[in-house]
């Protein structure tokens, strides 16, 4: 009976000591925006026992870098499936490294999608288009999960905006993600312009786009870039703006 009480006492003491440590770890993970980082048996099978132990022992960066080299080799050999699995494990190991998320998305949505569309072994165009769009979706998934792990950095918002613009031809979503990037500390100034540019291509939102572009124009010469002036002139014509409210024609000549 005394032994049982002693064991229970030890367990309670250990549990009491662990609780603040676990709370601190959980708070740190929330602070660092870790999402869905799971060191499971599937990861162990892919990176091997030694790599798995190294990852658990605090050498995640080294293991991720080694896998990144393997992913580069897979890209050279156009082994898209293997590369996809490798990047999933790389981003699991190092979710706060933007380069890994961005590179994974680029390989999927750009390189693999082009390869799928040009696949001479698949004679049916519909199936090639289907495969291409599946790679678009994989690239988008990497960027969306990367943003969940790095919501405080503008880079992946910008990458997702480019994907919507160039692959989905969705100017409205592109504008949205450029705007989200622009709202973050340290975002480059072009994010505001790019968001307004993309909005200017959206049917039914010309007035909003014009007002945003005009505010940028009114900030002064540094913002009066050729593309901004060109889009402003386009919107002035489309909205039928009175001549006295339009920007000077000399700006149009500069844009040319």
Residue 131 and residue 50 in one domain = no
Helix (H) or strand (E) holding 26: helix 2-31
Decide if pLDDT at 67 tops 50: yes
In whole angstroms, give the CA distance from residue 25 to residue 84. 30
**What pTM value is reported for the model?**
0.78
Residue 12 has pLDDT above 80, yes or no: no
Closest-CA residue to 146 (of 198, 189, 109, 191): 109
Choose among 186, 192, 184, 202: nearest CA to 225.
192
Residues spanned by the domain of 103: 99-199
**Cα separations in angstroms, 49 against 43, 46, 59, 63, 70:** 10, 9, 13, 12, 17
Is residue 195 domain-shared with residue 207, that is, in the same domain?
no
Please, are residues 216 and 225 in contact by the beta-carbon 8 Å criterion?
A: no
Same domain? 114 vs 155: yes
Residue 215 corresponds to which tokens in the numbers above?
A: 């505010």
Whether residue 222 lies inside any domain: the answer is yes
Domain match, 141 and 164 both: yes
End-to-end Cα separation, the chain, in angstroms: 92
pLDDT tens-digit profile of 74-92? 999 999 999 999 999 999 9
User: What is the percentage of the chain residues whose pLDDT exceeds 90?
Assistant: 71
């Amino acid at each position: 009976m005394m032994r049982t009480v002693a064991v229970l006492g030890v367990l309670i003491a250990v549990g009491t000591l662990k609780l603040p440590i676990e709370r601190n770890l959980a708070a740190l993970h929330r602070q660092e925006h870790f999402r869905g980082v799971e060191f499971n048996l599937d990861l162990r099978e892919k990176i091997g026992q030694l790599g798995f132990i190294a990852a658990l022992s605090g050498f995640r960066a080294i293991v991720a870098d080694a896998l990144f080299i393997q992913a580069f080799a897979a890209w050279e050999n156009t082994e898209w499936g293997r590369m996809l699995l490798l990047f999933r494990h790389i981003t699991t190991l190092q979710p706060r490294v933007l380069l890994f998320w961005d590179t994974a998305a680029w390989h999927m949505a750009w390189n693999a999608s082009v390869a799928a569309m040009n696949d001479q072994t698949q004679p049916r165009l519909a199936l090639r288009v289907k495969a291409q769009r599946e790679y678009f979706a994989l690239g988008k998934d990497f960027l969306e999960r990367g943003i969940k792990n790095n919501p405080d950095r503008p880079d992946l918002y910008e990458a997702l905006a480019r994907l919507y613009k160039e692959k989905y031809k969705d100017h409205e979503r592109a504008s949205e993600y450029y705007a989200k990037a622009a709202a973050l500390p340290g975002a480059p100034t072009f994010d505001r312009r790019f968001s307004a540019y993309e909005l200017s291509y959206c049917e039914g939102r010309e007035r909003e786009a014009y007002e945003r572009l005009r505010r940028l124009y009114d900030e002064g010469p540094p913002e009066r870039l050729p593309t901004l002036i060109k889009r402003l002139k386009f919107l002035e014509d489309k909205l039928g703006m009175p001549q006295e409210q339009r920007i000077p024609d000399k700006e149009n000549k500069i844009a040319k």
